[in-house]
Amino acid sequence: MKWRLGRFLLVMLLAIVITGCSTKKDASTEDNNSGTAKKDGGTLVIARLSDAENLDHHFMSTINAASVTHSKIYEGLVGRDKNAEIKPLLAEEWKQLDDLTWEFKLRQDVKFHDGTAFNADAVKATFNRLLDPNVGSPRAVVFKMVKEVKAVDEFTVQFILSEPFSPLLSILASHEGGIISPKAIEKFGKEIINEPNGTGPFVFESWTPGQEIVFTKNKEYWGTKANVDKVVFQVVPEETTRISMLETGEAHIAEPLSVPMMSTVEASSKVEVYRSEGFGTEYIGFNFQKKPFNDIRVRKAISHAVEMDSIIKGVYNNVGKKANSLLGSKVFGYHADMEAYEYNLNEAKKLLAEAGYPDGFETTLKTMDSKERINMAEVIQSQLKGIGVKVNIQVLEYGTFVEQANSGDSEMFILSWRNATGDADYNQYNLFHTNSQGAAGNTFFYSNQEVDRLIDAARKEKDPNKRIELYAKSQELEMEDAIYIPVRVIENLAAVAKNVDGFEISPSGYLEINDVSIK
């Protein structure tokens, strides 16, 4: 289309002729640009690579989708502050009465967007829906230890667990813990909620799938009200178009930002790079249900044949440090001493021969349609030629890619796991526990009884040091089984117009826009 071509030419011209000073906005710096005063109001436009697959926290399988509604439409009993520490939100205080009982005192000045009063019955209704097997929420697995949610009185609620669960607060602070209006639950029931209704600082206005999602400011919000009047999440698949929209003032934030495009943004006088370290990692995964990856020797051979340093440098330009597991270094339970498989082509060829593939084999590597992932897939394709493995690359639209990975329609794949809680449990249980196979996160379709036992034990353990020991053992077993090849710790990247203040991306990967002002 002509307008897309025009924007593409514009951004290419900007990359050549702009000679302004390189700038970078990160999580630890503030923009002191020219002293221009901040002002309330206006419409914040966020140009995004892909749409949310749905707007129902009980059915979301990606941070990409949750990032749209979490803390904006829906809020939980607790949240996280700017240092990722647990803070009160819809609950003013809480205490653990015994190993199986947690009690929360709720705020008494909160209403849902539809005017319904927020109270203990609303909390109970939300979790009853999430845990109802007839609803079939893929996120129910993260709260499977919740036996009952009891409304003690109008503003006191208790979570009665079937077994001790130490990281409960971390899960309640993630998007799965968002409280939904009872009226929305009554209206949609088992169906996916496509008109999200919560207590947050923004109110849902409209969703045109594949195009845009629109929120408006909640003028009756119980807390600090948002600065902007409206937010538009606009789906713009072409990155050059997203960046040019910032240059022309059509948008204010573009995300994600690819590493190859960083230099163009850094050269701009109107746009700068936002970057911050995340909890998550990127990885190359194997589907255990598909031959030949049901053979550990094949998985180990591939792991030995991928030279990760060249990928970190060549594909990512050293943005995001090399990973040694699927836990980011800031996550509780991170195992600093664990080592991934060393690059060793001779060992790789030996293992393939032992597995019955002396001349290699042919396979398909699936990835979403992002520049870095495609570039990484091409490097892997080239590297695996060295052991006789022919790799066919299949690039899919993000939603289709996630759907196929979740259903097991894959052999090898490139994925990331953002870790919404900062606790190893969110990573370990969702990605590796037998109960989480499929849409819950275990797209390896991996099952190991000892790993399950360690993960379950860590959930029940109160002593933080003992939990760390249990997670170290589970991570070592997972590496021994060669489930995945760790790539890098994710760095959150976005392009942000210089007239925007207050934007952040949390370590979990959620877009934080409640404090955004447009100057």
User: For 430-489, how does the pLDDT look when each residue is reduced to its tens digit (9 = 90+)?
Assistant: 999 999 999 889 999 999 999 999 999 999 998 999 999 999 999 999 999 999 999 999
pLDDT at 28 over 60: no
Distances (CA, A) of 252 to 39, 49, 206: 15, 14, 20
Cβ(146)–Cβ(161) under 8 Å? yes
The pLDDT value recorded for residue 513 is: 97
Question: What's the pLDDT at 7?
Answer: 43
Which tokens go with 202? 């923004």
Contact 135, 63 (CB under 8 A): no
User: Each residue of 159-171: pLDDT tens digit?
Assistant: 999 999 999 999 9
Q: Which of 310, 309, 313, 314 is nearest to 324 (CA)?
A: 309
- Give CA–CA dist 348/354, Å, rounded: 10
Q: What is the mean pLDDT of residues 71-93?
A: 94
Distance CA 126, CA 439 (A): 21
**Burial (CB count <10 Å: 0-12, 13-18, 19+), residue 337:** exposed
Find out whether 103 and 97 touch, Cβ atoms under 8 Å: yes
CA distance linking residue 264 with residue 133, whole number of Å: 49
- The answer to which of 25-39, 57-71, 323-337 has the lowest mean pLDDT is 25-39
Asked whether the beta carbons of 280 and 329 are under 8 A apart, the reply is: no
List of E strands, 53-199: 78-80, 86-88, 91-98, 101-106, 146-153, 156-161
Beta strands in 209-251 (DSSP E): 212-217, 230-235
Neighbouring C-beta atoms of residue 185, cutoff 10 Å: 20
Report which of 473, 431, 429, 475 is spatially closest to residue 144, judged by C-alpha positions: 429
Select from 227, 232, 193, 194 the least CA-distant residue to 213. Answer: 232
Angle formed by the axes of helices 371-384 and 296-305, nearest 10°: 110
HEC string of 59-75?
CCCCHHHHHHHECCCEC
Q: Which domains can be identified in the chain, with CATH numbers? A: 2-52+229-277+494-518 (3.40.190.10), 63-188 (3.90.76.10), 278-491 (3.10.105.10)
The DSSP symbol for 322 reads B
Instruction: List CB contacts of 225: < 8 A, sequence separation 6 or more.
Output: 201, 217, 218, 219
pTM here is 0.79
Query: How sure is the predictor about 370, in pLDDT bands with cuts at 50, 70 and 90?
Result: confident
Average pLDDT over residues 58-80: 94
**Which positions ≥6 away from 382 have C-beta within 8 Å?**
none
CA-based R_g, the chain, Å: 23
Mean pLDDT of 318-325: 94
Looking at residue 331, its pLDDT comes to 93
Residues 90-146 pLDDT 10s: 999 999 999 999 999 999 999 999 999 999 999 999 999 999 999 999 899 889 899
182-220 confidence digits (pLDDT tens): 999 999 999 999 999 999 999 999 999 999 999 999 999
pLDDT of residue 37: 54
Look up residue 199 and give its two tokens: 């207590």
pLDDT at 24 over 70: no
